[in-house]
Amino acid sequence: MTNSTILANARIVLSDEVVEGSLAIEDGKIAEILPGRSFGGEDLGGDFLLPGLVELHTDQIEGHHHPRSGVVWNEIAAIQAHDGQVATSGITTVLDAMRVGTDENTRSKAEDVAELAAALGRATSEGRLRAEHFLHLRCEVSADDAVDGFALLQEHPRLKLVSLMDHAPGQRQFQDMDALKAYLTDKFAMSDAEFEDYAATRIAQSQRNAPGHRRAIADACAARGIALASHDDATIAHVEEAVALGTRIAEFPTSIAAARASREAGMKVLMGAPNVVRGRSHSGNISAIALLRAGLLDVLSSDYVPFSLIQAVFALADGSEADLPTATRLASTNPAAAIGLTDRGTIAEGHRADLTRISHRTGEPPVVRAVWREGRRVA
């Protein structure tokens, strides 16, 4: 039996234009786009209808799992709480970023992450989740145990993306040591002496571990067909290293030179949606809007605020930085394509009916009114 739904009288955001009309869904896929006013189906009253957003890098699941120092929440409950936050932000496909590679400030050990990833698989198989969830491993390659932690999860069936990170002081995200000191003082209340010890230890770890760990993890990803991302590249040398490793996505490049070199090498450039909403990087690096103006931005990620993804789409359109279809592609079509999910991310006949209904007034945050995943309303 065919399962049919009509969503009527919407402003439908297609890949290159916005059309007023209705959308027919059959068996979880978009069957037809019908221009003009309709008198049948669910009346959306002129709200926008966007493709469900595709999120490649959100760190929020770990915060639900460890909501306070010394507190470990039930894995399934943590995943469901995270899933609700994601889905009600208009995100229908999400790669949950989990870190491997520990230090003195890491709440989750590799074994904890493996348990959380196993729970993600269970929650998916039991139909508990509104969005479709995959796994993204954030590998801190300077850490002594980065490769061992990765090995625990490299065969996970939902692993889609691996990013290679090195947060050692004095390079990449925190080239400015004064900025790093201010950040850590605020976050961990470090004294001057504690910061100096921290910096020296981390730099030594990076010099000892990072090159070999990058290569070992990249080779494992290549053998398994897992997409690889660089992280916080700042220099041409960083980009050249990423290219040699087979990297597909440049996450959060910190300079326009690194972004341009990444794009010229065939990588997709990803920046944070909070950067767009705030108009600047929280760590003082290049702004996402500057990269957009230079034609060097391909993908937006919510990073540390799930709602920022849909908020950034409309902020770009409201500010005339991009028309609405272009802004939407940054959060839907482009991230889906970057990891090979070609069945979603665009409102087109034959694609999955992953959709989000938005009401919006210029200059204000959008309101997510409803979300459908494969034609089933989930929010």
pLDDT in tens, 249-296: 999 999 999 999 999 999 999 999 999 999 877 666 799 999 999 999
Q: Which of 289, 287, 300, 298 is nearest to 265 (CA)?
A: 298
Q: Which residues contact 320 (CB under 8 A, 6 or more apart)?
A: none
Q: What are phi and psi of 139, to 5 degrees?
A: -100, 110
**Window from 32-41, 55-64, 215-224, 347-356 with minimum mean pLDDT:** 32-41
Residue 106 and residue 99 in contact, taking contact as beta carbons nearer than 8 Å:
yes
pLDDT above 90 as % of the chain: 78
pLDDT at 134 over 60: yes
Residue 36 falls in which region: left (phi positive, over 0), alpha (psi -120 to 50) or beta: left
Task: Please tell me the distance from the alpha carbon of residue 176 to that of residue 195, in angstroms, as a whole number.
Answer: 14
Task: Please tell me the distance from the alpha carbon of residue 230 to that of residue 248, in angstroms, as a whole number.
Answer: 8
Q: Which pLDDT score is estimated for 279?
A: 87
H or E segment at 58? Answer: strand 53-58
State the average pLDDT over residues 52-60.
95
Q: Which pLDDT score is estimated for 284?
A: 67
State the average pLDDT over residues 55-79.
92
pLDDT at 1 over 60: no
What's the burial of 348, exposed, middle or buried (CB within 10 Å: 0-12/13-18/19+)? middle
Q: Which pLDDT score is estimated for 69?
A: 82
* Domain segments of the chain as ranges: 52-345
What's the burial of 19, exposed, middle or buried (CB within 10 Å: 0-12/13-18/19+)? middle
Q: Which pLDDT score is estimated for 267?
A: 98
Both structure tokens of 213 = 């760990």
Looking at every residue in the chain, the average pLDDT score rounds to 92
What pLDDT band is residue 216 in, cutting at 50, 70 and 90?
very high
Give me the amino acid identity at 4.
S
pLDDT in tens, 345-364: 999 999 999 999 999 999 99
State the average pLDDT over residues 215-229.
97
Q: Which of 164, 81, 78 is nearest to 113 (CA)?
A: 78
Strands 18-26 vs 29-35: parallel, antiparallel or unpaired: antiparallel
pLDDT at 26 over 90: yes
Q: What is the CATH number of domain 52-345?
A: 3.20.20.140
Task: Please tell me the distance from the alpha carbon of residue 229 to that of residue 234, in angstroms, as a whole number.
Answer: 14
pLDDT in tens, 227-248: 999 999 999 999 999 999 999 9
pLDDT in tens, 328-343: 999 999 999 999 999 9
Q: Which pLDDT score is estimated for 176?
A: 65
Q: Which pLDDT score is estimated for 93?
A: 98
What pLDDT band is residue 105 in, cutting at 50, 70 and 90?
low
Task: Please tell me the distance from the alpha carbon of residue 267 to that of residue 354, in angstroms, as a whole number.
Answer: 26
Q: Which of 55, 100, 4, 45 is nearest to 312 (CA)?
A: 55
pLDDT at 170 over 70: no
